Amino acid sequence: MDTTDNPNNIDKLQAHRIGLSPASRYVGYQPVDVNDFGLRVQHDPESLILTSLRVYDLPAPLVTDSPQHHKPTIIAAIVSFMFFLVALTLATTTTSCNLGMCDKIDRSSLPSHNYRFRVVPFEAPLRYAWVALAVASLGIFVFCIHVILIKKRSSGNHAVQSLAALVRHTTNTTLLHQFKYFAPVVFAIFLLLSLTNNWRMGACFLFGAVITSLASLLSQSISAAGSLRAAALMISSVPKAILLAMSTASSIVIAIIASVLGGFALSYIIFRDVRALSGFVIGAAVLALMIRLAGGLFETSLKADDNPNDHDQSSQSQFRQVFAITPHYMITSVASLVASNIGHLGGMVAQVFAVYAAAIISTAILGASFPFFYSNPFATCVFNHLALDKECVLYREGVKVSLAVSICRDQSLLSRYPSFKALESNTAFVALPFILGLVSLIIAVISTLYTAMPKRVGNGSQRDATLRSVIRPLRLNILVAALLTIVCAAALSWSLFGSRSSFQKVAGATIDRYELPPLTTANAARRCRPRRLVTEGENDRNREFPVLNLNNVRYQPLDSHGFDFPRVSQIPLRVFLCMLLGSICAVLYGLSVEQGTGVMESCVQRVMKKTTDKDGAYLTEALGMGLLWTVGGTFVVVLATSVSYTLLRAYGIGLCVLGMLCTMAPVLAICCVGRIMESAHAINELCGLSGVGMDDTSQLKGFTQGFWTMCAALLGVCGLMCCLVLKWVLLQETGLLSGSRSLGGTNTLSPSRHITDVDMIDISERLVFLSMGVGVWGVMLFIAAMIFGARHTRDAVRRKCRQGSGTGAAAIASSATEWILRAAQARREAGLETVVIGLVAVIWPLASGLALGQRALAGAVAGAIGVSIGLSTALLVCGGVGQASCCAHNPDGEQGPSQAAVHILGDVGDSMLWIGNSLNGVAVFWSAFAVGVVKLMRADGARGWIGAVLAAVAMMLAITIVVYLARRAKQSEESNPGTNFTFRVNPDAVSPFFLAGPELRAENISPKSRLGVLRLESGSDSYNDLFATVLGIDE
């Protein structure tokens, strides 16, 4: 055929970019330039792949996921094992003090630090940090072994490999593209933290952000590899496919926990500053929030033209089964898989990372304020007598005088108090969260190592039996993890603080009786009278002595917050009870949510079986029952939080969260299993494969839906409990609470604060009460920004990427083109909107704190935490009910709602889950970010004009962005009214956008499948005739 242009004069790369390489060779074809679409597709791998997509003929360099390609993983395994040996050697060396690496003081407790909460110097638990780093390296090694074993499995034929490689490559490319939009926000926060606090906190922030990004990318790649192998196994045996998916999910969970553990352990070894690690939490939280936002916006925008009315047609399910081999459904499905990987799997991984980091680091920070002081008998004596100062305030020349400090300057009394070593001091309480982190890694490996999956799933057409046979062993793994958590908690509690520990022998030593001086002053009218006094001698009025609880017998101090610390002998029991409550809370609350939102025997299924309503109005009853199921679990959470706070204050809440996270490892793995199996089923469906296991897989649709909602709810509860712990850290950094050093932790300096100077925030104060309203308003503003951002992203994609015109094959080719551009446009719009919503999340705490002061910021964060836990729980449960309704729906049944109602409910459920998870993420980010920026604010709001200016600038910036986006949309609408294509020749021959479907053979099609049933109903013996009839192709 003749050509209109000489193809030799066209650069091949440029022609391939704009889609002219095959089209310019033929007469009668009008090339379409990418500028006509209103979007210039950049020269990146994703655009080149999507433009030249062939299901069976992808470029050879793309197919890199075959069993022979795992050399980088082997190298990573060798390097991680060598690093494990090095870290273990250094941990041993640090313990034996051979290289002078022990007896190092934590930098946050040195007098030269710039933190407002000043604590008595304590030894940095470097030996535990090295052990944690060694265990993390071993976890990475185990992860690499998992990946090697997974990649050795059969990966299916070339078509399956190519499609899985496309999904993986597009997912990673899209996620990397989003990181470019995150970079300005991350850099701005880095500068703010570095200038406000110190460079160590800024460096930890960057470290946390980078490791979170790498963990998210790594999880995507491993999930794609597992989906590919599970797809190959699913054809013959579903149980084997589930076990392979479980092994893949186990490797993902191990990688997450190992990266968290290794990340903050290495940060602490480098900087030796426990308070600077709060920057690590901020970095992880901001990346988790933005990945969650970007994934949700990307997924929403790809559904811009999804018409729910199409799902109500009786032949729609059959049509979609046939349409799976066409370009439109192919690219739609690939885009859906990519969006699911980023929004669900990537968001969950990042959120797990942030919650783990927040729980471990915030608990360790609070452990530094415990009144067991390293090599400081004077501070030990003072805190043993602080009850005197709390009950009886003495004044000297109008200034409060610490009676405890005066008493302990008596050398005869001071000599009776012990000098604590590292394991006997608050260093043990700082190290305990580190140890719990490595314990959670060990529990994750053991509890996900084996799953008692049956050889066959279900019994024919009985879906309940099929689901029960699969879900039962998964629940058993959760109970095993809970049991392991309880055993490890008991072992840790009594080994560190038990009767045979060095801590108990020193801190619990008997202190000889000591006669306290009388409190009578020269002026009897100004005499201090504590509540409990004893008298001696005949003249008892002049011999009054204060009585303390056992302070003359054993060490029972107050902490710097005025908390009456328990007896030393009670500490191991209290530590164990906090972790025990966390484990029990995870099991009871998680199973209640799973029972209320799962597919099997859930309230959704029971209501659906009884209803005859086709419009979905029955779902109000299902939603009510779903929330009712969680009432008991929510009560358990509130009870566990209250009891933990009573036992050890905020430190006890942190231990409770760590107990929950240790139990959650199988839940995280099960959620990953669900996503891997869904991707595997979609890959097989797109490639037209069938087998014995495919029918069983359709019966298992949504079998992990309840666990997915359970995981989201548990992560939300853990995150919001971490917010309470971070709130206590925030109160310390404001200076409203007195540090141990300020109360008289040194014998040479007079105390700068009195125990009664603790300025607790009272909710009855007008400013605090109003600021809690500001916190509620901030949450509502964030939700509104998310909703309007999703709407704008969806409208922009719909406006710039319209369906092509034409009939038959021409319509298919134009649809393929439209979806190619939609993916690129959705990626761009999602990135821009994520930055806008992220700016709202960053500016809100800054503006409120600078405008109203530190106390207002603490009140606003408290209000945000309170409203977030309520809204997120309701949204997650309602979203889980919606998703479970979609999975439990039977289109062939007489009862239940219509397909259109279920489809709408599924989309609404997706949005609810996205908003609920994002609320949990922003609550953690606000709590951690407030700790990092509180030093910018005054206690009384004296810099209110700064907050007003910042709020005004933020509002002007938001208005400018909205006006710019509206003007750009209008210009795009005027210059590009639509993308209509007219193909004058057979698009199969000339169009670079046409995708040839896979060849289907009769022996590969199950007669029981929808495609086989459709062929029998049409009376056609040839599948080609069937495709031509359904798709309207004139041969």
d(CA 26, CA 429): 76
How does residue 525 score in pLDDT terms, banded at 50, 70 and 90? very low
Q: Nearest to residue 935, comparing CAs of 193, 106, 190?
A: 193
Per-residue pLDDT for 74 more than 60?
Answer: yes
Contacts of 898 (CB under 8 A, 6+ apart): 312, 614, 615, 616
Q: Residue 602: its pLDDT value, please? A: 56
Question: 3-state class of 374 per DSSP?
Answer: strand
Per-residue pLDDT for 491 more than 70?
Answer: yes
Q: What is the mean pLDDT of residues 843-865?
A: 83
- Reading the block at residue 985, the tokens are 């020749």
Q: Residue 580: its pLDDT value, please? A: 96
How does residue 375 score in pLDDT terms, banded at 50, 70 and 90? confident
**Structure confidence by residue, pLDDT tens digits, 924-978:** 999 999 999 988 887 665 555 565 666 666 667 666 766 666 666 566 555 544 4
Per-residue pLDDT for 357 more than 60?
Answer: yes
Per-residue pLDDT for 269 more than 50?
Answer: yes
Per-residue pLDDT for 991 more than 50?
Answer: no
Contacts of 283 (CB under 8 A, 6+ apart): 186, 204, 205, 206, 207, 208, 209, 210, 212
Q: Residue 723: its pLDDT value, please? A: 94
Higher pLDDT, 82 or 47: 82
How does residue 353 score in pLDDT terms, banded at 50, 70 and 90? very high
Q: Nearest to residue 636, comparing CAs of 723, 727, 713?
A: 713
d(CA 376, CA 467): 61
Within a 10 A sphere around the Cβ of 519, how many other Cβ atoms?
18
d(CA 671, CA 625): 23
Task: Please tell me which of 720-729, 963-972, 979-988, 1009-1018 the model is most confident about, judged by mean pLDDT.
Answer: 720-729
How does residue 311 score in pLDDT terms, banded at 50, 70 and 90? very low
Per-residue pLDDT for 658 more than 90?
Answer: yes
- Reading the block at residue 619, the tokens are 């779902």
Q: Residue 39: its pLDDT value, please? A: 34
Strands (E), 511-623: 533-535, 544-546
Q: Nearest to residue 557, comparing CAs of 382, 412, 423?
A: 382
Per-residue pLDDT for 368 more than 70?
Answer: yes
Q: Residue 702: its pLDDT value, please? A: 64
Amino acid identity, position 441: L
Question: 3-state class of 745 per DSSP?
Answer: coil
> Could you tell me if 178 and 251 are in contact, meaning their C-beta atoms sit under 8 angstroms apart?
no
* Helical residues (DSSP H) of 700-765, grouped into ranges: 705-734
Angle, CA of 974, 975 and 977, to the nearest 5°: 70
How does residue 873 score in pLDDT terms, banded at 50, 70 and 90? confident
Q: Residue 176: its pLDDT value, please? A: 82
Q: Residue 990: its pLDDT value, please? A: 39
Q: Computed from CA positions of residues 644, 650, 651, 657, in that sequence, does the dihedral angle turn out positive or negative?
A: positive
The continuous run of DSSP H or E covering 592 comes out as: helix 571-597
Higher pLDDT, 750 or 822: 750
Q: Among 552-561, 566-575, 731-740, 809-818, name the one with the lowest average pLDDT.
A: 809-818
- Reading the block at residue 471, the tokens are 């879900």
Higher pLDDT, 311 or 882: 882
Q: What is the DSSP letter of 274?
A: T
Per-residue pLDDT for 809 more than 90?
Answer: no
Contacts of 199 (CB under 8 A, 6+ apart): none
Q: Residue 614: its pLDDT value, please? A: 54
Per-residue pLDDT for 624 more than 70?
Answer: yes
> Could you tell me if 253 and 86 are in contact, meaning their C-beta atoms sit under 8 angstroms apart?
no
Q: Among 293-307, 355-369, 480-494, 801-815, name the one with the lowest average pLDDT.
A: 801-815
Higher pLDDT, 565 or 718: 718
**Phi and psi torsions of 394, nearest 5°:** -100, 140
Q: What is the mean pLDDT of residues 882-905?
A: 64
Question: 3-state class of 985 per DSSP?
Answer: coil
According to DSSP, the β-strands at 533-535 and 394-396 are unpaired
**Structure confidence by residue, pLDDT tens digits, 380-397:** 888 888 877 877 777 777
Q: What is the mean pLDDT of residues 558-579?
A: 85
Q: Nearest to residue 368, comparing CAs of 710, 122, 16?
A: 122
Q: Residue 130: its pLDDT value, please? A: 92
Q: What is the mean pLDDT of residues 500-512?
A: 75
Higher pLDDT, 537 or 405: 405
> Could you tell me if 352 and 252 are in contact, meaning their C-beta atoms sit under 8 angstroms apart?
no
Per-residue pLDDT for 139 more than 80?
Answer: yes
Per-residue pLDDT for 1014 more than 70?
Answer: no
Question: 3-state class of 31 per DSSP?
Answer: coil
What angle, rounded to 10 degrees, do the helices at 278-302 and 238-271 form?
Answer: 140
Q: Residue 717: its pLDDT value, please? A: 92
Per-residue pLDDT for 468 more than 90?
Answer: no
Please count the residues of the chain. 1035
Q: Among 171-180, 434-443, 705-714, name the one with the lowest average pLDDT.
A: 171-180
d(CA 109, CA 123): 9
Per-residue pLDDT for 1026 more than 70?
Answer: no
Per-residue pLDDT for 403 more than 70?
Answer: yes
Q: Residue 483: its pLDDT value, please? A: 95
Q: What is the mean pLDDT of residues 680-701?
A: 63
d(CA 764, CA 372): 34
Per-residue pLDDT for 321 more than 50?
Answer: no
Per-residue pLDDT for 577 more than 90?
Answer: yes
Q: Residue 347: its pLDDT value, please? A: 87
> Could you tell me if 301 and 789 are in contact, meaning their C-beta atoms sit under 8 angstroms apart?
no
Angle, CA of 494, 500 and 502, to the nearest 5°: 95
Higher pLDDT, 8 or 64: 64
What is the average pLDDT score of the chain? 74
Percentage of residues in the chain having pLDDT higher than 90: 23
Q: Residue 35: its pLDDT value, please? A: 36
Per-residue pLDDT for 90 more than 70?
Answer: yes
How does residue 594 score in pLDDT terms, banded at 50, 70 and 90? confident
d(CA 522, CA 543): 13
The continuous run of DSSP H or E covering 395 comes out as: strand 394-396
Q: Residue 528: its pLDDT value, please? A: 60
Q: Residue 664: its pLDDT value, please? A: 92
Q: Residue 1019: its pLDDT value, please? A: 56
Q: What is the reported pTM?
A: 0.82
d(CA 545, CA 517): 7
Q: Residue 606: its pLDDT value, please? A: 60
**Structure confidence by residue, pLDDT tens digits, 724-735:** 999 999 988 887
Q: Residue 792: its pLDDT value, please? A: 80
Q: Residue 408: its pLDDT value, please? A: 83
128: left (phi over 0), alpha (psi -120 to 50) or beta: alpha
Q: Computed from CA positions of residues 148, 153, 154, 156, in that sequence, does the dihedral angle turn out positive or negative?
A: negative
- Reading the block at residue 357, the tokens are 């980091």
